[in-house]
């Protein structure tokens, strides 16, 4: 007689980038192994590969390739909440006293922070509007490792977020043009447009949560959990 297959519950959440509902399941032992391997490696590329694999395994009706980075962060937190425990306990080192501080965090309190200034639409003159898209985790993989960040890579990620150029009558999809054509278009842009593109990048929504604590010297401080760090604590 074969071993029975255990039913795994499904849950639903709303993606912060587009308000679409997606279904997901908790970790199985298979994903736990992937996660442990990534945590032990301390290697950024390995962590990214593991994250992509876990998301692809646990999302039922959505592809990880269609998720913005902050969507991925939010999905991971929800998966972890349903898989392990909603309350996460961990230790940090106080930078002043070097003591070990025990902290706890309720994952349900971790939210996506949105900047009111953030917009993905940039006006170019009177007739054109540039529509930007959110970078994927693949796009940002090199940006997560400070040792690999260069101005060229930063600009490449920035320009990869350009999606469309629209008027009231026409839509130009940048995926339909060659890299040379896109580069020539970007090089023709006014500096103010490039600055607004950087503003889009700098104000992208993100996971951020502050945990207050008091060290042995009686100083009130806070530990900031931000981005993918919230998943690999």
Give the pLDDT of residue 145: 59
Per-residue confidence (pLDDT) for residue 141, from 0 to 100: 64
pTM: 0.79
Which stretches in the chain have pLDDT values below 50?
none
Mapped to the 3 state alphabet, what secondary structure does the chain carry?
CCCCCCCCCCEEEECCCCCCEEEECCCCHHHHHHHHHHHHHCCHHHHHHHHHHHHHHHECCCCHHHCCHHHHHHHHHHHHHHHCCCEEEEEEECCCCCCEEEEEEEHHHCEEECCCCCCCEEEECCCEEEEECCCCHHHHHHHHCHHHCCHHHHHHHHHHCEEEEECCCCEEEHHHCCHHHHHHHHHCCCHHHHHHHHHHHHCCCEEEEEEEEECCCCCEEEEEEEHHHHCCC
* pLDDT tens digits, one per residue of 125-141: 889 999 999 887 766 66
pLDDT score at 232: 59
The confidence score (pLDDT) of residue 149 equals 65
Q: What's the pLDDT score for residue 61?
A: 84
Per-residue model confidence (pLDDT) at position 143: 59
pLDDT score, position 215:
92
């Amino acid at each position: 007689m074969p071993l029975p297959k255990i039913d795994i519950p499904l849950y639903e959440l709303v993606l912060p980038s587009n308000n679409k509902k997606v279904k997901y399941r908790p970790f199985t032992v298979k994903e736990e192994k992937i996660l442990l391997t990534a945590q032990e490696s301390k290697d950024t590329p390995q962590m990214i590969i593991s994250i992509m694999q876990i998301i692809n395994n646990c999302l039922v009706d959505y592809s990880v390739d269609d998720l913005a980075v902050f969507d991925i962060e939010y999905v991971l937190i929800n998966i972890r909440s349903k898989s392990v425990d909603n309350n996460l306990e961990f230790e940090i080192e106080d930078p002043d006293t070097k003591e070990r501080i025990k902290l706890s965090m309720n994952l349900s309190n971790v939210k996506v922070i949105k900047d009111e200034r953030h917009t993905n639409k940039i006006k170019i003159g009177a007739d054109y509007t540039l529509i930007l898209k959110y970078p994927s985790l693949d796009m940002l993989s090199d940006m997560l490792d400070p040792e690999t960040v260069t101005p060229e890579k930063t600009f490449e990620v920035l320009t990869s977020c350009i999606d469309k150029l629209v008027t009231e009558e026409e839509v130009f999809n940048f995926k339909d043009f060659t890299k040379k054509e896109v580069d020539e278009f970007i090089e023709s842009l006014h500096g103010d447009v490039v600055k607004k593109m950087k503003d889009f990048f700098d104000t992208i929504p993100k996971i951020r949560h502050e945990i207050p604590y008091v060290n042995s010297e009686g100083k009130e401080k806070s530990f900031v959990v931000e981005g993918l760090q919230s998943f690999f604590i």
